[in-house]
Amino acid sequence: MSKPMKPWALVTGAGGFIGHHLVSYLKAAGYRVRGADIKRPEYSGTDADEFMLLDLRELKNCQTCTIGMDRVYHLAADMGGIGYITGSHAGIAYNNSLMNLYMLEASRCNNVERFLFSSSACVYPQGLQTSPDVTPLREEDAFPAEPEEGYGLEKLYAEKLCQYYMEDYGLSTRVVRFHNVYGPLGTYDGGREKAPAAMCRKVACAPNPGTIEVWGDGKQTRSFMYIDDCVEGIHRIMRSDYREPLNLGTDELVSVDELAEIVITASEKKIALVHDLTKPQGVRGRNSDNTRLRAVLQWEPQMTLRKGIAPTYHWIAEQMAAAASVEMSVTGASVAAE
């Protein structure tokens, strides 16, 4: 007798880093998966049963991709590293607000059973993140509100929208607040990359011995979560009965200088750090309080930064080497043709 099929799951942002990995995770767990994004995955094919190339800033497209879906993992967002999100407040707020509003409304209209929204630690008040030795941020700390401009503000607004859609319409929502996700198959150049990927790229490109530039004085602190822990946590939160926002991250606090040294160790190069105090560096310190996550899920992310950086660095280094090889071949062919 055949086993009953698991529900249909929609992953928006399936062409991006976390969404691509989540599609693969859900497929391996037996789900039927539809991906939706304005782009396909950049570095590999998709495991999705269906993939829809759609601009989710349009309501009709959100209605199309949610038809027949049991669960929606809404990960699609206009986002990037600190340089991008501090310089694109209007565009980020506009694009993400439209996607979030329309995905919630389309999910309601198409009778989606559960809707998970990917929020961010950027919702937390700036005034609680002024010291590198930061007190881990608890979920209730989000109010009174003083989120990061643009990206953090629209995420906090969308969290409240999830609450309202649950209270007014009965849409069962889940909210996950990510704390700095990294790993292979993530963006590592172009301005939208996060700190771990940027650091890996800089080290991979540096001569041995050499130097790399670090934004800020390197004393600012963060916690970083490996992608495998992230997608498992997303799945666990979606299946749980907990309907309030939950942190999803590690509580392994490191400085940006320490992050750089971990990457350098993985590279086996001799690299010195040069600090640029004119570049944006975000809040002074941010860390996840996982007390509630442990209580709700009886689980928390397990991968240490030192262990997770190794495969991340080597994947990025391989991409950089392959790109350099292609460029040399093209240049050589051009010279030969002259």
Active site residues: 151
Residue bearing tokens 């030969």: 336
CA–CA distance, 238 with 138 (Å, rounded to integer): 20
3-state secondary structure string across the chain: CCCCCCCEEEEECCCCHHHHHHHHHHHHCCCEEEEEECCCCCCCCCCCCEEEECCCCCHHHHHHHHCCCCEEEECCCCCCCHHHHHHCHHHHHHHHHHHHHHHHHHHHHCCCCEEEEEEEHHHCCHHHCCCCCCCCECHHHHCCCCCCCCHHHHHHHHHHHHHHHHHHHCCEEEEEEECCEECCCCCCCCCCCCHHHHHHHHHHHCCCCEEEEEECCCCCEECCEEHHHHHHHHHHHHHCCCCCCEEECCCCCEEHHHHHHHHHHHHCCCEEEEEECCCCCCCCECCECCHHHHHHHCCCCCCCHHHHHHHHHHHHHHHHHHHHHHHHHHHHHHHHHC
Q: What's the token pair of residue 219? A: 């004393």
Q: Which residues contact 25 (CB under 8 A, 6 or more apart)?
A: 231, 232, 235
